[in-house]
Every structure is written in C-alpha cells, then in structure tokens.
Amino acid sequence: MMMMNGWSGAMSAWDWVWLVIALAAAGAVAAAGIGLMVRSLRRELGAPAPPSSAAAVPSAEDVLADRFAHGEIGEDEYWQRVHTLRAADRR
C-alpha cells in the first residue's frame, strides 16, 4: 500500500517524547487541582491547620508557666526557675 500524505500510522521518537511531556504536564495540573480542592475543603469543614514547626515546640518559660498553672510547681519554684532561665539567656 502507498502512504497517504507521508503518514504511516506509526509514532516517531519525537512523538513519544511530546506525548510523555504532555501526560506529565496534565498529571501535574491534575495533582495541583486535587491538592487545592482538598485544602479548600479542609478550611470549609473547619479542620485545624497542621502546626508549624515553630509553634510545635513550646519555650522553656511556656512549659514552666503551664506546670505552675497545673499546680505541679509552687510560686517560689516557678520564679526561681524563670530567673535562672533568663540569666542563662543573657550569657
């Protein structure tokens, strides 16, 4: 049979390269869209945002204040430790 307009029905190497690039781009767009939808739904449903790394670790004074508030340590011990912490920070 003769080829019509130079097309034999087989894909060349460049056709495959462009196909892979197009599929990867479409996949990236789909993944980004799904990620944005999930993020939007979490906000609408009131799910808490994941904690940031800075907020996840309380300071030493915060821990002391929490222990004092729960009655684990007394006022004298609380202030003694706060002064010790602040003195160590000045060094």
Report which of residues 2 and 41 the model is more confident about.
41
Q: Are residues 58 and 84 in the same domain?
A: yes
User: Of 12-16, 21-25, 80-84, which one has max mean pLDDT?
Assistant: 21-25
Q: Are residues 72 and 45 in the same domain?
A: no
pLDDT at 73 over 70: yes
Query: Model's pTM, two decimal places?
Result: 0.41
- The pLDDT of 80-90, averaged and rounded, is 88
pLDDT at 2 over 60: no
* CA–CA gap between residue 88 and residue 91 (Å, rounded): 6
Per the structure, how many domains does the chain have?
2
pLDDT at 27 over 90: yes
pLDDT for position 83? 93
Host domain of residue 84:
52-91
* CA–CA gap between residue 65 and residue 2 (Å, rounded): 87
Long-range contacts (CB closer than 8 Å, 24 or more residues apart) made by 85-89: 85/60, 85/61
